[in-house]
């Protein structure tokens, strides 16, 4: 049998029409400013922060708290360490706006001057814990190997000890606790979280292309770690340190509340809360004022940490 030839239909070629460039000008929304330098990560984070209402509210509260901590004498003329037993348990008056305690101390003066102690302990403990944890975590993540394994196990050991419990044990072994000793004790047990976060961040950054390029150009390990790895890995640590500041303030108040923190001669919110417990039913406001000051301070730093996290990690806003 003879096969018939197959006839294929020929389709006309598709014609593409492109509008002239002068008929489709570049719109302003599509234009890219090529004259200015691109924003860095920190510049973009600052731009996002000033647009975040949570940051503005927390920053305003922190500014007020820092002003009170620095200049409590401008807001009250009373001495927080002077107690007149003849004026004990007085209700609020023009002389004592928040009333007096069982020992005749002015409650307002105690709250204002207690801000300085709590903020000082929280800030310097945060600095100490961030330095210890940041250095150990950066070295463990960058060096790796046996060194990483040893530091990770040491971190796990300290991480297994609760912050408050470890501080109580050390405080009971010390003859006299003061502000520097409380900072040291809390810093010794409070660096583990920072170390673990710094280690993971360094591991994710050290293999980036810009670090490899720096090594190819002759940079040594120390230069890479200090100039390239740490600046690009420190963002999560900043967020953690900001939130931890509030945690350390609560920890100091807890130790003073339990009677193992700052001595009774020091003005502390935790100590005042402890002293106000017997008068909870008769004078609840004596307990309310230092508790509210502690809550507002801790909430302010936690809100600031959340705002900084959203600015430095845009992916967190989508989750």
User: Which neighbouring-strand residues pair with 100?
Assistant: 106
Kindly state the tokens that stand for 235: 């963002």
How many structural domains does the chain have?
A: 1
Give the range of the structural domain holding residue 144, as residue numbers without chain letter.
Answer: 53-69+98-318
Specify burial of residue 219 (Cβ count, 10 A radius: 0-12, 13-18, 19+).
Answer: middle
Is residue 84 a part of any domain in this protein? no
- 248 band by pLDDT with thresholds 50, 70 and 90: very high
Q: Which pLDDT belongs to residue 196?
A: 92
Q: Please state, in angstroms and rounded to a whole number, the distance separating the CA atoms of residues 253 and 259.
A: 10
- 197 band by pLDDT with thresholds 50, 70 and 90: very high
More confident residue, 231 or 282: 231
Q: Which pLDDT belongs to residue 198?
A: 93
Is residue 158 a part of any domain in this protein? yes
pLDDT, mean of residues 295-299: 93
pLDDT digits 0-9 by tens, 160-188: 888 888 888 888 888 778 889 999 999 99
Q: Please state, in angstroms and rounded to a whole number, the distance separating the CA atoms of residues 160 and 157.
A: 5
More confident residue, 75 or 280: 75
pLDDT digits 0-9 by tens, 204-232: 888 888 888 888 888 888 888 888 888 88
Give yes or no for residue 24 having a pLDDT over 70. no
Q: Which pLDDT belongs to residue 12?
A: 57
Phi/psi-derived region of residue 12, left when phi > 0, alpha when psi is between -120 and 50, beta in every other case: beta
Length of the chain: 319
Query: Is residue 106 helix, strand or coil?
Result: strand
pLDDT digits 0-9 by tens, 62-99: 999 999 999 998 988 888 888 888 888 888 888 888 88
Short-list 151, 170, 173, CA closest to 162: 170
Is residue 105 a part of any domain in this protein? yes
Is residue 185 a part of any domain in this protein? yes
pLDDT digits 0-9 by tens, 111-147: 999 999 989 999 999 999 999 999 999 999 998 889 8
User: Which neighbouring-strand residues pair with 106?
Assistant: 100
Q: Which pLDDT belongs to residue 173?
A: 84
**CATH code, domain carrying 309:** 1.10.3720.10
Q: Which pLDDT belongs to residue 315?
A: 57
Q: Kindly report the pTM of this predicted structure.
A: 0.81
Is residue 46 a part of any domain in this protein? no
Phi/psi-derived region of residue 38, left when phi > 0, alpha when psi is between -120 and 50, beta in every other case: beta
Widest Cα–Cα separation across the chain: 129
């Amino acid at each position: 049998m003879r096969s018939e030839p197959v006839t294929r239909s020929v389709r006309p070629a598709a014609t593409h029409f492109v509008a002239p460039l002068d008929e489709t000008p570049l719109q302003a929304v599509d234009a890219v400013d090529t004259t200015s330098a691109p924003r860095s990560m920190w510049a973009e984070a600052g731009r996002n922060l000033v647009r975040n209402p949570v940051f503005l509210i927390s920053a305003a509260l922190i500014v007020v708290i820092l002003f009170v901590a620095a200049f409590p004498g401008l807001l009250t003329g009373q001495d927080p360490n002077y107690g007149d037993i003849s004026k004990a348990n007085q209700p609020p008056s023009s002389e004592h706006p928040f009333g007096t305690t069982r020992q005749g101390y002015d409650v307002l003066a105690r709250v204002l001057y207690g801000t300085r102690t709590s903020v000082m302990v929280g800030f310097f403990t945060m600095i100490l814990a961030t330095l210890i944890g940041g250095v150990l975590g950066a070295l463990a993540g960058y060096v790796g190997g046996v060194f990483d394994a040893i530091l990770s196990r040491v971190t796990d050991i300290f991480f297994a000890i609760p912050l408050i419990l470890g501080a109580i044990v050390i405080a009971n072994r010390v003859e006299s606790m003061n502000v520097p000793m409380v900072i040291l004790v809390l810093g010794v047990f409070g660096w583990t979280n920072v170390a673990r976060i710094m280690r993971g961040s360094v591991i994710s950054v050290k293999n980036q292309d810009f670090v490899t390029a720096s090594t190819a150009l002759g940079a040594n390990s120390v230069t890479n770690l200090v100039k390239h790895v740490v600046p690009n890995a420190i963002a999560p640590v900043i967020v953690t340190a900001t939130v931890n500041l509030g945690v350390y303030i609560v920890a100091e108040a807890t130790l003073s509340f339990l009677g193992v923190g700052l001595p009774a001669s020091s003005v502390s919110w935790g100590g005042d809360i402890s002293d106000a417990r017997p008068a909870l039913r008769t004078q609840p406001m004596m307990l309310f004022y230092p508790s509210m000051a502690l809550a507002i301070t801790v909430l302010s730093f936690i809100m600031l940490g959340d705002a900084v996290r959203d600015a430095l990690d845009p992916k967190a806003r989508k989750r």
